């Protein structure tokens, strides 16, 4: 038997916390010290609340569904209408992204942070010249640069500043 890390009582092999400490919401090891757990953690809805929720969620299928008949934003953006369509291939964008990141060794070209420093989700391939203004350069390798998330946010909507920073380095 192990002991609860909060109160010291036995956990009956259930993990780090006993049942009462888990229900109290002492889960700061998962949420962080400043974040609070969900307000319903360890609580149950009353019968009245359950009845109200049941009534509110009745008959929302088919024509009663508020989304019934609405058109999906991507419904008409298939094939040639897709924003990333290029000569019959919608996957050119993903290949371009991977080639740019690989060329730059998965490292931000502004601040020098590597993928090992910031993680794979925080490394972005960015177009130096905007796609809207220069659609012919969309998949040009020389029009791409690898940026970390912080630098990407900083220079995303200011291409002139980005070009200055690149020329500076």
- Give pLDDT tens digits for 68-86: 777 776 677 777 777 666 6
Q: How far is residue 48 from each of residues 51, 54, 57, 146, measured CA to CA in Å? A: 5, 10, 14, 55
State pLDDT tens for residues 30-57: 454 455 666 777 789 999 999 988 888 7
Q: How far is residue 36 from each of residues 6, 32, 40, measured CA to CA in Å? A: 16, 8, 11
Closest CA to 128 of 167, 91, 94: 167
When pLDDT is averaged across residues 1-10 and rounded to a whole number, the result is 72
Question: What pLDDT does residue 29 have?
Answer: 47
Question: What pLDDT does residue 24 have?
Answer: 59
When pLDDT is averaged across residues 141-168 and rounded to a whole number, the result is 86
Question: What pLDDT does residue 36 have?
Answer: 63
When pLDDT is averaged across residues 3-19 and rounded to a whole number, the result is 70
Question: What pLDDT does residue 15 have?
Answer: 66
pTM of the model: 0.49
Long-range contacts of 123-126 (CB under 8 A, 24+ apart): 123/147, 123/148, 123/149, 124/148, 124/149, 124/152, 125/96, 125/97, 125/98, 125/100, 125/101, 126/152, 126/155, 126/156, 126/162
State pLDDT tens for residues 100-146: 999 999 999 988 888 888 877 889 999 998 888 888 888 889 999 99
Model confidence band, residue 14 (pLDDT cutoffs 50, 70, 90): low
Q: Both tokens of residue 44?
A: 């149950």
């Amino acid at each position: 038997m192990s002991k609860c890390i909060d109160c010291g009582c036995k956990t009956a092999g259930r993990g780090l916390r006993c049942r009462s400490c888990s229900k109290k919401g002492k889960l700061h090891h998962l949420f962080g010290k400043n974040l609070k757990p969900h307000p319903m953690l360890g609580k149950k809805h009353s019968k009245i609340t359950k009845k109200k929720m049941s009534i509110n969620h009745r008959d929302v299928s088919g024509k009663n569904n508020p989304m019934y008949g609405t058109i999906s934003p991507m419904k008409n953006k298939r094939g040639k209408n897709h924003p990333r369509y290029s000569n019959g291939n919608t996957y050119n964008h993903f290949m371009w992204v991977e080639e740019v990141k690989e060329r730059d060794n998965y490292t931000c070209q502004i601040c020098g942070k590597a993928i090992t420093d910031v993680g794979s989700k925080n490394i972005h391939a960015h177009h130096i010249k905007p796609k809207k203004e220069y659609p012919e350069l969309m998949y040009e390798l020389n029009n791409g640069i690898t940026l970390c998330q912080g630098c990407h946010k900083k220079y995303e909507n200011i291409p002139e500043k980005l070009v200055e920073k690149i020329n500076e380095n």
